[in-house]
Structure 1
Amino acid sequence: MRFGTRTHLKATQAVRVAGFYAWLAQQAGLPVSTGRLAESFISSPIYEGNQSYAQVMQAISKPCPPLANDSHVEPHLNDVLLSLTARLQPGTRLIVISDFHDVDKRTTEILTALQDKIKIKAVWVKDMSETQLPDIEGLQLQSMVNNRVYEIANASQRERYQAWSDQYQFQIQSVLQHANVTLYSVFAHESLLQLSESLNSPNQAIDIVQTDANKTAPKRAQYA
């Protein structure tokens, strides 16, 4: 989430998304609690009343930790979701705001089980460059996993990246769709007005098409 090529980091936009929902909760008179995933998962008390929005924003508006610590291992999203299973009361509304970079089939299983007792929304925060590279020369991409630098110097490399990106986006949406989670997508550079519009427009479902009697193949994802 500590990545952004335009106006905001994805982490910054995630805070703005959380603020959007905290404001709605305050206006509706609903109690709200929040959790922030960085070096560890930090949850807040339950806030109520006309100061709940301000309290939520204070709880989550924290600087990103430095990247220099090689021993730092961020908790897996699945572990966080499992830790919430026993804590969330039936009828709770859970909104997961993430770039979902570490989701897998186990995520689908956990979210499906959680939805037996709570309602879940997922807000997928993306940077525009993750779906389409900027048209500039001498482009370099650096992995935040192993710090490796990748050169994008010609059309062939750009096409390979785009193919990888399409598949990566498909896999994330597929995991969340199979859990029957209501999914929304926002880009990190969106203004508050654009953000509000995105959070009122769920993603379109992706299609799985039959190719033969024994296999299925993904059709290209349709993104909101």
Structure 2
Amino acid sequence: MTLILDHVTKTYTDGPNRFNALDEVSLEVKSGEFIAIVGPSGSGKSTMLSIAGALLSPTSGNVLLAGENITGLSSKEITKRRLEKIGFVFQAAHLVPYLKVKDQLNIIQVLAKKRVKHGSDLLTHFGLQHRLNNYPNELSGGQRQRVAIARALMNDPQIILADEPTASLDSKRGQDVVKLLAGEIKDRNKAGIMVTHDERVLSYADRIVTIRDGKIVKD
């Protein structure tokens, strides 16, 4: 398996009170598989995605990326693994407003401290070759999300994590973006997880996992 959450719990403390945002959650995602995580607001979906993406550490349990247990690594090593192995697509594209489209991808190789030469190829693949010198405010919402997907693939990660990728898009553009994302995960043999409230895009997932009150209730 490319990604394994093994009995992961995330506990928060609010004064004398403690509550589990995640409670003994286990999930396995293999390469080429695209999973949708669904559930009501406050159920733990975003916490689960953040732990899968090494943005949060679990209170207990383990996270394995490509067979490596990253739970006990230093923050420096976790940051390195995140840059090397994980690509993120967020609700809004979160593009840097003062960078041109081509530079949105180039900044990833700067952060990762390695040269990657296929940025323009990725943008051409996504039909954005005529937008290389545009700024984010000159793009449509769907175009911005396509740039975000290209950026997530820039370092050829093993895992793609998408947090409500259709939230800022209309129905047609939302479905187009998720269809594109699902296809890239299949074609490039990545492990993919998408958190969504959008039932219209669930048909593109290989598996739907429901989470409620910090627990997986249907898998």
Using the size of structure 1 for normalisation, the TM-score is 0.32
Q: Which has the greater radius of gyration?
A: 1
**Greater share of strand residues, 1 or 2?**
2
Ranked by relative contact order (alpha carbons within 8 Å, sequence separation 6 or more), the top structure is 2
Using the size of structure 2 for normalisation, the TM-score is 0.33
